[in-house]
Structure 1
Amino acid sequence: MKVITFPGQGTPVALNVFRSYLAEGSSAFRAVFRDSGRIGVTRTIEQRPADPVSIAACSFLLFDLYRRSRKNNAEELLFLGHSLGELGCLGAGNRLFGLSETMKIASLRNKLMINAAGGNKYELWAISAPRSQNLECELQPLLRVTDVNLANVNSRMQCVVTVPQGYTTDSKGTPQWAAELALQVPRCRIQRLENPYHIPFHNKNILQGIEEPLLDHMWQKLKSQGLHTKRELEHPIISNLNGKRITDVDKALESFAKSSCNVVNFVACCDTLNSLGVSKAVHIGPGEVIGKLMHRNCKLEKSQEWNTVEDITKELGDVQDSNSLE
């Protein structure tokens, strides 16, 4: 059994890498990235590489490329996305949404989160503690007495939090809460992450109102494609919400909507993969962030990056030019 992963909104498309896809002359790359019907998509990615629409679209295109390899078609697959990446599991992975629909859902989700913030701006910080056995638990005192909110539990030694912009900082630009945490947690490293839309990611107190409109929009998209009566997924998805394996379409849609406004429990997802005995993984780009997280959390015999031209051509083998996801 092999798991396919997709990255989240914090992994922008690297333009030098993306342009190498466009320049690659093999038939598979030409069919995916230079199709006349996708010119607008590739232009969007080049113009706005950090936009969630571009990240979702790039993942979709790269998985289209992956599916064209004959040697990959017979494998038993399941899917795991990180935050926005869970949309890739629904669209590219299970063909519930085409490329255009996937981009529209990514755009709506982003707009709903921005609107829910009500004009307030938030920062995103990664907290790493190599000596910790359970960093999430060590953060609980901080979460109880400050406006710091947990967003992602990426490993037992790394979490991501969102914080309202404007906290008092020291001479090095470190917020007071971060300085206090560094004194409490041995060898704690705190790093600000890019958050171009200043979103309070996975903060239930602020974002819970986006669940219903996002879920309703996805059902309407399924209905417009005649897929609203479909009950079983083609391939199981591991839910960001609780790490459970999902095989039902309705539960998969609900998982993505709920996990968009709740903490991403990536550790629970990886624990499930370990319990299922999953030994192989392909990490669909952009970027290599999810591959690194999986390396920390999972017992994998083989792990492949599907990101750079070199990574892909090494694994691609023979292709089927007609096997498009659209």
Structure 2
Amino acid sequence: MSRRLLSFTGQGSVVSADRLQHWASNVSTFSDADLIHRFSQSLEQPATIAACSNLLYRGWLTEQKNGSENGSTYVVGHSLGELNALNASVNGLAFRCKDIMEIASFRNKLMVEATQRYLKERRIADGTFEMWVVTNPRSKGLRKELTALLQDDSFNSPVPGLTGIKLANDNAPNQCVITGITGDIIAFVKKCTIEKIRHKFTKLNNPFSIPFHNNDVLRPIQEPLYDFIWQTLKENGKQHFINETVENGIISNVDGRLTDQFHTAIEKFVLGSSNIVNFVDCFKTIASELELDEAYHFGPGASIGKIIERNLKNCDMSHTFVD
């Protein structure tokens, strides 16, 4: 009996037209032609990313059932990927693919509206939020180093009325993601270069200009997002999951801890949607509490799976990329 980890990618992952065609031709769960057409028209939409990941998981789950695979399963998702992890914690029974798409779209809509409202209230007409990856191969505690810099006014001088640059993701001991207004980010990168701080900065694609996981901006999305998820469960007659223990434990982004209560997992997903992704803490829990044999990483793309593989390189487990 194997002990496995399932991981799910989040918003910002890339759905390529070539891969979409491959899935449509080779994965039975992609047999809905109307759905495939909808995906092909909106490759960057969070609903498409979440749905593709969900359908890849469903295809894998069908294969496992046909093979009578037994063992223990644990799940983890990165940011929006935690929605699919939440569903996988009850073997995909809580939400249909359609539900996953609607929740992902609604979450994104709430984030866009909260961002626009935040800028309007502060009378910032031309502000655009960006996201940048920060890496330093030599660092063993980049989050701590970045936090110190961001608390230094000479490095982090925000546009008047704004909160400045914030940490969004703690992806690895040597990799984080920051978010902030364009001018603030550029000034920060320039200052680090002048001071010969050897961090590498890479701008990420952020088509909706959302300051992901910035609680100062996105805190207002929590209540309506929770209500929408609850209403979806209720409309589908799945509200009983709220009071149940999940079959597959879920490691939460918000604190890195293992959760076995479905209602707690929902609350943590909602809370984590506007707070930093503590992926490093997730790895610590996996390494210290779970003795795993194998991991399956569900696309689109392999970036999150590769992050997990690198962070768990000292764990004796195999990694399979389902993409």
What TM-score do you get using the length of structure 2 for normalisation?
A: 0.87
Name the aligned partner's letter for residue 73 of structure 2.
Answer: L
* Counterpart in the other structure of 2:110: 112
| CA contact 2:169–2:277 (8 Å) conserved in 1 | yes
* Counterpart in the other structure of 1:176: 187
> What SS does the aligned partner of 1:160 have?
strand
Matched residue pairs, number?
Answer: 293
Unaligned runs of 5+ in 2: 120-126, 157-163
1:225-304 equivalences under 5 Å are 225-230=236-241, 231-275=244-288, 276-298=290-312, 299-304=315-320
Say which of 214, 221, 232 aligns to 2:232: 221
**In the alignment, structure 1 residue 10 sits paired with structure 2 residue 12:** yes
> What SS does the aligned partner of 1:61 have?
helix
Alpha-carbon distance in 2 for matches of 1:265, 1:279: 23
* Counterpart in the other structure of 1:313: none
| CA contact 1:123–1:162 (8 Å) conserved in 2 | yes
* Counterpart in the other structure of 1:32: 29
Alpha-carbon distance in 1 for matches of 2:49, 2:68: 23
Say which of 163, 166, 172 aligns to 2:183: 166
Unaligned runs of 5+ in 1: 169-174, 308-326
Alpha-carbon distance in 1 for matches of 2:252, 2:68: 23
CA shift, 1:140, in A, is 1.4
CA shift, 1:300, in A, is 4.2
What TM-score do you get using the length of structure 1 for normalisation?
A: 0.86
Name the aligned partner's letter for residue 248 of structure 1.
Answer: Q
CA shift, 1:200, in A, is 0.5
Alpha-carbon distance in 1 for matches of 2:191, 2:38: 42
> What SS does the aligned partner of 2:7 have?
strand
| CA contact 1:142–1:148 (8 Å) conserved in 2 | no
Say which of 134, 145, 156 aligns to 1:138: 145
> What SS does the aligned partner of 2:240 have?
coil
* Counterpart in the other structure of 1:46: 40
Question: Which moved further from structure 2: 85-94 or 52-61?
Answer: 85-94
CA shift, 1:279, in A, is 3.4
Name the aligned partner's letter for residue 11 of structure 2.
Answer: Q
> What SS does the aligned partner of 1:198 have?
coil
| CA contact 2:165–2:184 (8 Å) conserved in 1 | no
**In the alignment, structure 1 residue 83 sits paired with structure 2 residue 90:** no
Alpha-carbon distance in 1 for matches of 2:174, 2:197: 11
Alpha-carbon distance in 1 for matches of 2:145, 2:13: 27
CA shift, 1:214, in A, is 0.4
CA shift, 1:301, in A, is 1.9
Name the aligned partner's letter for residue 209 of structure 2.
Answer: H
Alpha-carbon distance in 1 for matches of 2:209, 2:8: 22
Q: 1:300 to 1:109 in 2, by over 3 A?
A: farther
